[in-house]
Amino acid sequence: MVSSRATNGSTSLTFPRRLPASRLGTKHDTLDAFHHAVHPFRPETCKEYTLVVVTERVLETNSANGESVTRQRILLGLKNRGFGMGMYNSFGGKFLHDEESVEECACRELQKETNLMVTLEEMTQAKVGIQRYTFQNDPAEMVMHVFRIQLESTKHRATQTVVGCDEITPQWFEDINQIPFDNMFADDSLWLTALLSSEVPLAINGSYHFRENCQETNTILEYYIDVQPKNKNNKGFSLEQRLFHALHNKCVHSPNIKEFKENYAFCNAVRNAFGKSNSKHQFDIVIDVAGGHGALGALFLVCTSAYEAVVVDPADVGGGGVWKAWGTDFIGCDKRLRYRSECLRTGLPAELENALTLTSSDRILVVACHACQHLSEETMSISCQYGVHVAVMPCCQTDLSAGGSWKSTSRNLSVPVAVVMDLLQCGKIMALGMYDVRMKVIDPDITPQNRIISCRALHTDATGISLERQQKVARAHSRLVNAYKKAHVLAKSSDPHYQFLAIFVSNFRGPALYLSLGFAMGVLSFHLVKKR
β-partners of residue 308 are 285, 336
> How many CA atoms lie less than 13 Å away from 244 in the CB half-sphere?
18
- Of 329, 360, 355, the C-alpha closest to 340 is 355
Contact 310, 287 (CB under 8 A): yes
- CA 443 to chain CA centroid, Å, is 14
Helix (H) or strand (E) holding 75: strand 68-79
Q: How far is CA 56 from each of CA 214, 391, 429, rounded to the nearest angstrom?
A: 31, 56, 67
Q: How far is CA 439 from each of CA 137, 187, 394, rounded to the nearest angstrom?
A: 47, 47, 11
Q: How far is CA 405 from each of CA 198, 399, 415, rounded to the nearest angstrom?
A: 64, 8, 14
User: Residue 234 and residue 250: Cα distance in Å, rounded?
Assistant: 17
Give Cβ neighbours of residue 113 (< 8 Å, ≥ 6 apart): 77, 91, 92, 93, 164, 165, 167, 168, 170
pLDDT in tens, 188-199: 999 999 999 998
User: Residue 50 and residue 103: Cα distance in Å, rounded?
Assistant: 8
- Of 121, 129, 176, 168, the C-alpha closest to 148 is 129
- Of 485, 466, 463, the C-alpha closest to 474 is 466
DSSP β-ladder status, 285-289 and 364-372: parallel
Contact 306, 318 (CB under 8 A): no
Give the residues of the chain that fall short of pLDDT 70. 1-11, 42, 231-237, 276-281, 318, 460-474, 476-477, 484, 486-532
pLDDT in tens, 402-433: 777 888 888 888 888 889 888 999 999 998 88
At 275 the pLDDT is 73
At 415 the pLDDT is 87
User: Residue 221 and residue 154: Cα distance in Å, rounded?
Assistant: 38
At 410 the pLDDT is 85
State the DSSP code for 432: T
How many C-beta atoms surround the C-beta of residue 135 within 10 A? 21
User: Residue 459 and residue 132: Cα distance in Å, rounded?
Assistant: 51
Q: How far is CA 337 from each of CA 299, 331, 393, rounded to the nearest angstrom?
A: 10, 9, 21
Residue 308 carries which side chain, given as an amino acid letter? E
SS3 87: coil
Helix (H) or strand (E) holding 45: strand 45-61
SS3 230: coil
Contact 311, 291 (CB under 8 A): yes
In 230-358 the beta strands, taken as DSSP E runs, fall at 285-289, 308-313, 336-341
- Of 108, 70, 106, 75, the C-alpha closest to 90 is 75
Contact 198, 219 (CB under 8 A): no
Helix (H) or strand (E) holding 381: helix 373-386
How many C-beta atoms surround the C-beta of residue 172 within 10 A? 12
Alpha helices in 115-172 (DSSP H): 120-125
State the DSSP code for 91: B
Q: How far is CA 187 from each of CA 12, 24, 166, 224, 303, rounded to the nearest angstrom?
A: 22, 7, 25, 11, 37
Is pTM, for the whole model, over 0.85?
Answer: no
- What are the phi and psi torsion angles at 417 (to 5°)? -60, -30
